[in-house]
Structure 1
Amino acid sequence: MSMISARIERLPFSRFHIHLLLMGGLGYMFDAMDAAVIAFILPVVRTAWNLTAVQTGVLGSSTFVGFLFGALLAGTLGDLIGRRAVMMSALALYCAASLVSATVDSWPSFFAARVVAGMGTGAESAIIAPYLAEFVARRYRGSFTGALAGFFSFGFVAAALLGYFIVPAYENGWRVVLVLTAIPVVMLLWWRRSLPESPRWLESRGREKEAEAVLDKIEASFARSGHALPQPVAEAIAPPVPAGTLAANFASLLAGRQARITTMTWIMWLSITFSYYSFFVWIPGLLVQNGMSITKSFGYSLTMYCAQVPGYFSAAWFNERIGRQATIATYMLFGGVSALGLAFASSDSAIMTAGILLSFFMNGTYAGVYAYTAEVFPTPIRTTGAGLASAIGRIGAIVSPILVGYLYPNFGFAGVFGVTTTVLLIGALTVVLMGVPTRGRSLEEIAASEAA
């Protein structure tokens, strides 16, 4: 461990970290609002534009097409030009494209605008957790990153509230919702100007003086608040391979033992993202087609979305108690059981109960996934690895709404959630069998153990 990392590891959890948590978490909240609001808009625009089931499914995938390219670009650029610049640019892109999507009058134009907005949210989602995890000591990194991901739940609940109260209430309520999801981002952009670049990334690029300057400023804030920091202790760990070019970074992901970790993250992300969006993009529309009114469907969906909050934050707590692998696998397994319950539910109360459990466990899985992905790659290729894993996961988000559009008319709820359960089981087994323990280990120790 270098002296830069040792200085970070000695920092106690403080106001500085709460500031990071809020700024990163609010970004995730707006990302989730953007992803979730499409589920409440689809039933309305489907009727207004006389869309077929396939066209509706394509629109449902639009944001996730953008997610794929945004995550991939953010990851590669984050390791080359810095985490902070990518995160700020991504947020600005989302804001502009979301406002444009509120003004269009045809589904192809809406699709295009949502793809661009998705690029912004996908880029930010991929960069926030790896970026902020590099500021956090090992003893609370899992809980911190899990809680960071927990802000997604607030975005989904906010989107459900907008969908419940505004979409049905006005003729162009869906346009109003899209504007409301974009405007607060401008304030967040202004607030984030004070964010520093990651010292660990600066060091990996040979910019030690800049890394030391960032830490000097952080440590000065501790001194002003009366915190006496212990002496940093550098561990005897071999330094990571220096950061390289774009091609070299991609090659490093599939070199030696790192290839197993990289493959594991791909399968983990693909399985949870496919299963998650099979459920959440289509559930309001499926409930409507099953005989509920739009208002009642949105009310059910809102209750299910609220279950995300304890799901995320309970998993964040378990990240440090039982480890990331155990948390991810356990929540995936219980998510699969809940999906089966939803598939065979025959009453409104049974649908509600199973939906709440499914929302709790599948969202809780993400608290483990985001924390784990930010840890298993070395600093020089951390955002490249995390971005690529997130991008591959978005393939599941792109495919799942279209596949549900085919499965539901032919196989009903049982077909949709039967497939979901199978995919979740595959993901859980992959994490357990191919993953590595990260709890209580520094980022440098994890990287060195895989490079050995």
Structure 2
Amino acid sequence: MTADAEQDSPDDRSGPRRERERGVLRRMTLATAWGEGLDGYDLGVLSVVLPLITVELGLSPLWAGLIGASALLGIFIGGPVVGWLTDRFGRRNLFLIDIGAFVVLGLLQGVVDEPWQLFVVRLLLGVAIGAEYAIGAAMLAELAPSRGRGRRLSKLLVSWYVGFLVSVVLAYLLVDLAGLSWRWVLVTGAVPALVVLLLRIGLPESPRWLIQRGRVEEAREIVHRFLGADHFRTEEYEHEERGAGWRRLFSPELRSRTLFVCVFWSCNVAPYFAIFTFAPQVFTSLQLSDERASTIAVNALAALGALVGMLTIEHVGRRRQLIIPFWVMAVTLALVGVWGEAPAAVLVVSLAVFAFFNALQGNLTAVYPIEVFPTDVRSSGVGIGTAASRIGAALGTFLLPVGLDTIGVGACMLIGAALCVVGGVVSQRLAPETTGRTLTRTGAVSVTAA
């Protein structure tokens, strides 16, 4: 089936019909971007209230690390498991179930009394977040046209960083001005999740997934009804062979892609999660007098970086936007690690530059995994990449409070710099250039340096 298989007349394509097509794609983009933003919101809120939780529940450094890493551990489970379920049973239903679970679990955070209870709830919340990564970007990419697909997918990471920034500012306001307890602050994440749930009701199934499962007529009807046939004029709708699930991801034809996605994603997120989940403690260790202002300023730069990355991705290209930031981040973290006694302004600017380029590059975590895997294992591939990235992020988040007490903040920053070097080397070798290509073509491209 191709986009030319069914064309509408000019009269059919005018007025309300065209507006409806735009509306469906806009709603899908918004519903997916807000879902991604929930992850940033949840982790941002936790970074502010975790010190309060530590005091009230009497957390040891071990429990503080476990609770800080709990959602990341859940993502490790939810990404690959729900990714496999999504490739097997479809995108739409799981897209709704996932966000419904997020609402319920968000509310449950308000009634926990013991450290283990909070750990379990946030672990399950992480499973829902991991599912969001596996389902949302794949579903959006499979409905969107090639032109501007990178910019559209980049909006997911812009939403993540904006969600993180908004949650940090809001959490400080709710704690300092409104006097709310940490439980109510955590519960606020259920409110935007409920809005996302309402946005997702009525969205169609992915036509690409239907065609891959042999349900061509259903896919044709969805394209005709919701998107218009010429919306996919440049896309090829070929019936692909069904793969062997996870096993195919590690087959000779795809294992280099899987390795690339797992390594670059891990090296992007691990330093960021470790540093900014415990941002107040990190800034205090660097002897910065106002850790709150520093936390907000650095996260504002991160949101700006994500926005710049979204606006430039189709012009700069995927490959350059991935490789260059790794080396910039390595230099800035190494500077903080080596020159820990530098003036406060130098330290804040260094971490701000790191956050800016990390976010600018981070947009590609929503783009590359979608583009380098074929339809039959796309969500599974994203899920595996998500899981691998969260292993590094969870280890970093778990070990950072211990590291601050033992080896010191300087050594922790140097470890983060080393991770960026690893990411840069692997990306230089394996990153493809997929800008402007259809999903059918990118899924068939060998992941070698362009």
Q: Normalised by the size of structure 2, how large is the TM-score? A: 0.90
Residues 1:165 and 2:195 aligned together: no
Question: Within 1, Cα distance between the matches of 2:275 and 2:322?
Answer: 18
| Post-superposition CA distance 1:264-296 (Å, at most 9, x none) | 111112212212212111111223455567xx3
Contact 1:86 1:124 (C-alpha < 8 Å) held by counterparts: no
Which residue is 2:68 aligned to? 60
> What's 1:195 paired with?
203
> Deviation digits for residues 173-214 of structure 1, max 9, x if unmatched?
211211211123112211211211110111111111111111
Does residue 323 of structure 1 match 2:317? Answer: yes
Asked if residue 286 in structure 1 is aligned to residue 282 in structure 2, the reply is yes
Which residue in the other structure is 1:46 paired with? 54
Distance across 2 between alignment mates of 1:310 and 1:52: 35
Change in Cα spacing, 1:356 to 1:256, as seen in structure 2 (3 Å) is: same
Is the CA contact (8 Å cut-off) linking 1:316 and 1:368 kept in structure 2?
A: no
Q: What CA deviation, in whole Å up to 9, does each residue of 1:76-133 have, x standing for no partner?
A: 1110111122221111112111211121122111111111111111211232112101
User: Match for residue 226 of structure 1?
Assistant: none
Alpha-carbon offset, residue 19 of structure 1: 2.6
**1:34-84 alpha-carbon deviations (Å, 9 max, x no partner):** 122111111111122222222211111111111111112221111011112
Kindly tell me: are residues 350 and 200 of structure 1, through their superposed partners in 2, closer, same or farther at Cα, counting changes over 3 Å?
same
Cα distance 1:231–1:385, how it changes in 2: closer, same or farther (>3 A)?
A: closer
Q: Hey, what's the Cα distance between the residues in 2 that align with 1:55 and 1:232? A: 54
- AA of the residue aligned to 1:31: D
* Paired AA for residue 169 in structure 2: L
Provide, for residues 362-414 of structure 1, a one-character-per-residue CA deviation record: whole Å limited to 9, x for no partner.
11221012111110000011000111110111101210022212322233221
CA contact 1:326–1:432 (8 Å) conserved in 2: no
Please name the residue that 2:15 is paired with. Answer: none
The residue correspondences of 1:161-310 to structure 2 (distance < 5 A) are 161-169=169-177, 172-219=180-227, 229=230, 232=233, 239-242=239-242, 244=243, 248-289=244-285, 296-310=290-304
Q: What SS is found at the alignment partner of 2:425?
A: helix
Are 2:133 and 2:382, in contact at CA under 8 Å, matched by a contact in 1? no
Counterpart of 2:334 in structure 1 is 340
- Determine the C-alpha separation between the residues in 2 that align with 1:375 and 1:351: 37
Q: What is residue 398 of structure 1 aligned with on the other side?
A: 394
1:441 aligned onto 2:441 = no
TM-score (norm 1): 0.89
- State whether structure 2 residue 159 is matched by structure 1 residue 151: yes
Change (3 A) 1:359 1:230: closer
Q: Which amino acid aligns with 2:165?
A: V
- Aligned with 1:423 (options 419, 426, 448): 419
- Maintained 8 Å contact 2:174/2:180: no
Distance 1:219 1:22 in 2: 16
Which residue does the alignment assign to 2:147? 139
**2: CA distance, partners of 1:255 / 1:395:** 22
Aligned-residue offset at 1:305: 1.1
3-state SS in 2 of match to 1:374: helix
From 377, 386, 392, the equivalent of 2:382 is: 386
Worse-superposed segment, 334-343 or 106-115: 334-343
- The whole-number CA distance in structure 2 between the counterparts of 1:445 and 1:291 is 51
Cα gap change, 1:57 to 1:232, in 2 (>3 Å): closer
In structure 2, C-alpha distance between the alignment counterparts of 1:233 and 1:325, rounded to whole Å = 23
Q: Does 1:71 align with 2:79?
A: yes
Deviation at 1:342? Answer: 3.2
Structure 1 residues 5, 128: closer, same or farther in 2, change over 3 A?
farther
Tell me if the contact between 2:328 and 2:357 (Cα under 8 Å) persists in the aligned partners. Answer: yes
Shift of 1:14: 4.5
Report what 1:377 is aligned to.
373
Q: Which residue of 1 aligns with 2:307?
A: 313
Does residue 362 of structure 2 align to residue 354 of structure 1? no
Would the alpha carbon gap of residues 25 and 47 (structure 1) be closer, same or farther in structure 2, given more than 3 Å must change? Answer: same
RMSD: 2.6
Using the aligned pairs only, state the percent identity.
24
For 2:285 and 2:265, locate their aligned partners in 1 and report how far apart those are by CA, in whole Å: 30
Q: Relative to 1, partners in 2 of residues 1:23 and 1:233: Cα closer, same or farther, differing over 3 Å?
A: closer
Question: 2:159, 2:232 → 1: CA distance?
Answer: 34
Q: CA deviation at 1:151?
A: 0.6
2:45–2:167 Cα contact (<8 Å) kept: yes
Q: Shift of residue 348 of structure 1? A: 2.7
Counterpart of 2:393, as a letter, is A
Tell whether the 8 Å contact from 1:129 to 1:370 is kept in structure 2 after alignment: yes
Whether contact under 8 Å (1:375, 1:446) holds in the other structure is yes
2:58 partner SS: coil
Alignment check: 8 A CA contact 1:146 1:370 kept: yes
